[in-house]
Chains A and B, each alone.
Chain A
Amino acid sequence: MKLLIPANEENIEAGICVSFGRAPYFLIWDTEKGNARFIENSGASSSGGAGIKVAQDVVDQKVDVLIVPRIGKNASDVIDASNIAIFKSINENVMETIQSMLDGKLEVLTDIHPGFHNHGDK
């Protein structure tokens, strides 16, 4: 199983980025191999629709689970159309989040915010 987590920095101790679309990096954790890989978020500098672009990139990475503190409606619509599950993070940093996920402490994220750029439904 592959997990994807938005990270503020390119290291395993990094904090989770609260913004999905504008996160500078993503950590991809392969639970079978137990290894970490960081990718830069190419959508972070989009003038608009960053959530959609980033969600597209996440889907293209063929991950199984996305773990975020929160996510906007447009991004979640893209993720929902794929087979990726969205879980809500409860920890501040990336490593702890992976551990919580493996321990079965995380729950599926259900509260989707309408987005902050007047694109989604109010």
Chain B
Amino acid sequence: MRMQPPDTTERVQHDDIAVKWALWAGVGFMCLFGILGFIAAVKFVVPDLFWSVNWMSWPRIRPAHVQGMIFGWLLPVYMSMFYYMIPRLCGVKLYSDKLGIATTIVWSIGILIAIAGLLNPTDSLSLWWMTKGKEYEEFNPIANIFLVVAWLMLLGNMLTTFARRRYTQMYVALWYALGCMMWTAFVYVIGNWPSQLLGGDHGFRGLNDANINWFYGHSVVGLIATPGGLGIAYYFLPKSANAPIYSHKLSLVGFWTLGAIYIWNGAHHMIYGPIPYWLQTVATIFSFLLFIPVLALVTNFFGTIRGEWHQLRTNVPLKFIIAGTTFYLLVSTQGSFQALRSLNAVTHFTDWVIGHSHMALFGTFTLYAFAACYYAIPRAYKRPLYSEGMADWHFWLSFIGFLLFSTALWIGGFNQGIQWNDPAHYTFIQTVEDMKPFWHVRAGGGALMLIGMFLFTFNMYKTATSRLPETPGDDGGARLIADTPPGTLAGAR
């Protein structure tokens, strides 16, 4: 579906200030939490690293890394790319750049407060400060308030921009972006408050608490990370490949089935747990139904670059998006099968799950975010990308590093699960010892991924701080960059 520009010859000038602020918040947190993730990986094989330092203990670093990557890197970079694509898709300027800057500041303060509470150097037991102790909802209530306020500011900014749009037809990326933003508002509040407000002497305890925890936890992946990432990919894939999306009907199918199916999956995190059998079965069935939106999306994306595969040789954003789409197909297939009881009996609780979760959050959504940044940030700064070669290195380090990381965990984790079911021959500590070689490989893969992230940071920094190109034109070269075919920017330094 091609977007028709309005009849007026007036071209909207996008300042993209909010894009830049959100990007640097995201990139800064990505480096910090990437380092924490690497330390966590090393601690599997060197457990006495930083011994006796309470705020560096593994169980405190782990939630800081996981939550920091989701809420400190992924959501800010999504916000940055939404600030880029939503005004362009609506044909108007962003409603308020200042509000965008304020949103990023409030959000970043929330993240810092949250992480300080998770690492908890003072060993505080205050319920206002320490971790809430449930996965995906660890942030303390003070941080929750900051994040909710920032998200409402974002919603206000985006919905006003959207309400003032000039194009009547809504492109699919816009549905996903709006869906992501609205679902996040609901999901985040539901996940982080009811159990606390209604806990104590009445309300949600025990398995009720667990059920709500995993309803929320899976919705973080399915209704926040997924629509945000897919929306961004739906915009930046046709833009960078210079090819139209394969099928509008398929994008409709994908969007609506995603929203309808994903929320039923929460209980698949507790299969064979003490929750009712019927609830587990419901979650398994809907986990398998997810093949519908996933196949719709993957068909759409691969169909879009039909005849354009040669571009993968030179087009860095395209490399990231196609790799991300392949990983999306793989991780969703893997997840659907993991929800079946027979496989779940082996893989549940093992390191396999960590390979799976990183293929979604890093292999798919982070690679989509990198692709979007490589396309959008040079345009936002109206300068060419500093180095396409470095971006290529980033891609290959991420790709190979991630494959080492996850393959080691899948093989080791599966082995671990098989051994756990054979207590006559394997004590628990023997299964831990058998995992150690795989943990070494995982740390090595993680190191490569981290180096790739540093290259990306450096590339973005140099792009932002390089001199404006001296080309004639009323917009300082922006038109030149926007109209240049992909893959030919490297020379224009």
A binds B: no
